[in-house]
């Protein structure tokens, strides 16, 4: 009876023909199911247990941590990707992303290079770790990567401060594997002793034809022979020559984007040839365009959670932090509004999201917010 009804459906004969062909000529992967799942889990693990095997002093405020697997192997990554480290610090479950600064051809370890942030919870913890310390991380993530299919092989990398880390991975890989690419690095720092990897970058630029290095120091010593000031349009033009055969990558603190992006726009660099790594929530959010003047940055609001529980949330702190501080660990990866893992539904109240945060229009329409880049402007009611 059932099969009689099925025979009357439109397209039944064509579909049965396709199933018969698939049975005759197709591959049956069913016996491999377990092995395929194992392979996928090895390539894209949910969590990786890591051990610090070496700590390298880079500058007075920066160290590189070499991380080896505490068990098994490390999954592969693409240059420019980051890992997110998870912590329980003082009773707070939190996470922070760090770009991998080593090259992917080095499969025995990952290196991350961490700069101390004044009063920063995690950077200060990481910089006090020694060899043997254990860490929990995500698998590699992020799309700040060079794609040889769509990008021209000439890269202009513009970095500020610790934003050098994804570029270090790209440069090391390009030089070590002698890849057919050309990289020009413009690297801005406030002081000369802030410049991370300075000696290695100078050496790579001297020895490799694919790489040019232009450090720019805002406040160098009086006798400094190199570039002074900020990375600006005349310098970019001088370093690049023609612009239309290049792809631009920018990574660094908020000040770098505020200064450099308008200059690239004025030089008519199209958006499709410009990649930016968003480097976390802005430090002084109340200085961002669009912050409502009537909301005091010291204001504190109440967030109501399901079950009628309440959390206190300061206006100038990303919502995810206030929730974590109160014991509500929200899943997170990028902590900068791009991966969508920390989405929450806003039932009532107003939040501020800094300009440039890539929130989908459907999320806006149906009231979903990214807790990592949302700041309360009133009391809120949310659904976790």
Ligand X SMILES: Cc1cc2nc3c(=O)[nH]c(=O)nc-3n(C[C@H](O)[C@H](O)[C@H](O)COP(=O)(O)OP(=O)(O)OC[C@H]3O[C@@H](n4cnc5c(N)ncnc54)[C@H](O)[C@@H]3O)c2cc1C
Q: Which residues contribute to the site for ligand X (CB under 6 A)?
A: 82, 96-99, 112-115, 117, 119-124, 142, 162, 165, 253, 277, 279-280, 283, 334-336
Strands of 368-370's sheet in order across: 310-314, 300-304, 380-383, 343-348, 368-370
Stretch that binds ligand FES, among 113-121, 149-157, 249-257, 340-348 (CB under 6 A): 340-348
Stretch that binds ligand FES, among 71-79, 135-143, 298-306, 335-343 (CB under 6 A): 335-343
CA–CA distance, 260 with 49 (Å, rounded to integer): 38
Instruction: Please answer whether residues 101 and 68 qualify as being in contact, where contact means their C-beta atoms are separated by less than 8 angstroms.
Output: no
Query: Toward ligand FES, which CB reaches closer, 230 or 359?
Result: 359
Residue 324 interacting partner from ligand X, ligand FES, none (CB closer than 5 to 8 Å by kind): none
Q: Is 341 in the site for ligand FES (CB under 6 A)?
A: yes
Residue 122 interacting partner from ligand FES, ligand X, none (CB closer than 5 to 8 Å by kind): ligand X
Alpha-carbon distances, residue 208 vs 101, 107, 173, 202, 251 (angstroms): 19, 22, 12, 10, 23
Residue 333 interacting partner from ligand FES, ligand X, none (CB closer than 5 to 8 Å by kind): ligand FES
Query: Toward ligand X, which CB reaches closer, 170 or 240?
Result: 170
Q: Is 137 in the site for ligand FES (CB under 6 A)?
A: no
If DSSP codes are grouped into helix, strand and coil, which group holds residue 378?
A: coil
Stated as kind and residue range, the H or E segment containing 13 is helix 12-25
Query: Toward ligand FES, which CB reaches closer, 94 or 162?
Result: 94
Instruction: Name residues contacting ligand FES, limited to 19-58 (CB under 6 A).
Output: none
Q: Is 85 in the site for ligand FES (CB under 6 A)?
A: no
CA–CA distance, 185 with 179 (Å, rounded to integer): 16
Shortest approach of ligand X to residue 254 CB, angstroms? Answer: 8
234 CB-side CA count, 13 A: 3
Which residue do the tokens 């080896």 mark?
68
Lay out the site mask for ligand FES across 290-329 (x = CB under 6 A, - = otherwise).
Answer: ----------------------------------------
Shortest approach of ligand X to residue 2 CB, angstroms? Answer: 54
Strands of 211-217's sheet in order across: 227-228, 211-217, 182-189, 154-160, 247-251, 274-277
**Tokens at 85, concatenated:** 């480290």
Instruction: Please answer whether residues 164 and 171 qualify as being in contact, where contact means their C-beta atoms are separated by less than 8 angstroms.
Output: no
Query: Toward ligand X, which CB reaches closer, 121 or 230?
Result: 121
Query: Toward ligand FES, which CB reaches closer, 194 or 277?
Result: 277
CA–CA distance, 384 with 366 (Å, rounded to integer): 15
Residue 115 interacting partner from ligand FES, ligand X, none (CB closer than 5 to 8 Å by kind): ligand X
Single residue of 83, 372, 380, 382 touching ligand FES by CB under 6 A: 372
Residue 351 interacting partner from ligand FES, ligand X, none (CB closer than 5 to 8 Å by kind): none
Single residue of 174, 322, 338, 353 touching ligand FES by CB under 6 A: 338
Contacts of 223 (CB under 8 A, 6+ apart): none
Single residue of 253, 340, 363, 381 touching ligand FES by CB under 6 A: 340
Single residue of 114, 235, 240, 334 touching ligand FES by CB under 6 A: 334
Q: What angle do CA 156, 158, 160 make, to 5 degrees?
A: 165
**Tokens at 358, concatenated:** 């890539």
Q: Is 342 in the site for ligand FES (CB under 6 A)?
A: yes
Instruction: Please answer whether residues 200 and 187 qualify as being in contact, where contact means their C-beta atoms are separated by less than 8 angstroms.
Output: no
Residue 342 interacting partner from ligand FES, ligand X, none (CB closer than 5 to 8 Å by kind): ligand FES
Residue 98 interacting partner from ligand FES, ligand X, none (CB closer than 5 to 8 Å by kind): ligand X
Q: Is 172 in the site for ligand FES (CB under 6 A)?
A: no
Residue 39 interacting partner from ligand FES, ligand X, none (CB closer than 5 to 8 Å by kind): none
Which three-class secondary structure string do you get for 211-254?
Answer: EEEEEEECCCCCCCCCEECCCCHHHHHHHHCCCCCCEEEEECCH
Tell me the pairing of strands 247-251 and 227-228: unpaired
Closest among 188, 170, 48, 161 to 102, alpha carbons compared? 170
Which spans of this chain sit near ligand FES (rule: CB under 6 A)? 332-335, 337-342, 370, 372
């Amino acid at each position: 009876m059932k099969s009689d009804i099925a025979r009357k459906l439109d397209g039944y004969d064509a579909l049965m023909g396709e199933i018969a062909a698939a049975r005759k000529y197709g591959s049956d992967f069913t016996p491999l199911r377990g092995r395929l799942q194992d392979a996928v889990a090895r390539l894209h693990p949910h969590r990786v247990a890591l051990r610090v095997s070496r700590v390298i002093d880079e500058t007075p405020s920066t160290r590189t941590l070499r991380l080896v697997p505490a068990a098994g192997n490390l999954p592969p990554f693409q240059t420019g990707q980051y890992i997110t480290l998870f912590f329980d610090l003082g009773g707070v479950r939190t996470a922070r992303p760090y770009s991998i600064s080593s090259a992917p051809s080095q499969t025995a370890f990952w290196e991350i290079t961490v700069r101390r942030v004044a009063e920063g919870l995690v950077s200060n913890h990481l910089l006090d770790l020694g060899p043997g310390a254990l860490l929990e991380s995500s698998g590699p993530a992020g799309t700040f990567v060079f794609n040889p299919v769509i990008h021209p092989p000439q890269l202009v990398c513009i970095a500020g401060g610790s934003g050098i880390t994804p570029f270090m991975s790209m440069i090391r890989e390009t030089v070590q594997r002698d890849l057919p690419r050309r990289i020009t690095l413009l690297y801005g720092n406030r002081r000369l002793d802030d410049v991370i990897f300075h000696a290695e970058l100078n050496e790579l630029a001297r020895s490799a034809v694919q790489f040019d290095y232009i450090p720019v120091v805002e406040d160098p010593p009086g006798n400094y022979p190199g570039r002074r000031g900020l990375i600006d349009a005349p310098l970019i033009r001088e370093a690049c020559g023609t612009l239309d055969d290049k792809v631009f990558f920018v990574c660094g603190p908020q000040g770098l984007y505020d200064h450099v992006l308008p200059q690239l726009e004025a030089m008519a660099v199209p958006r499709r040839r410009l990649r930016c790594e968003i480097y976390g929530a802005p430090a002084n959010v109340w200085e961002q365009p669009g912050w409502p003047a009537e909301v005091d940055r010291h204001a504190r609001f109440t967030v109501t959670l399901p079950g009628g529980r309440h959390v206190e949330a300061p206006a100038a702190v990303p919502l995810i932090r206030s929730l974590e501080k109160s014991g509500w660990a929200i899943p997170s990866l990028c902590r900068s509004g791009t991966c969508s893992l920390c989405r929450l539904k806003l039932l009532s109240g107003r939040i501020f999201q800094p300009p440039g945060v890539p929130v989908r229009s459907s999320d806006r329409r149906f009231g979903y917010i990214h807790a990592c880049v949302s700041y309360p402007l009133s009391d809120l009611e949310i659904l976790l």
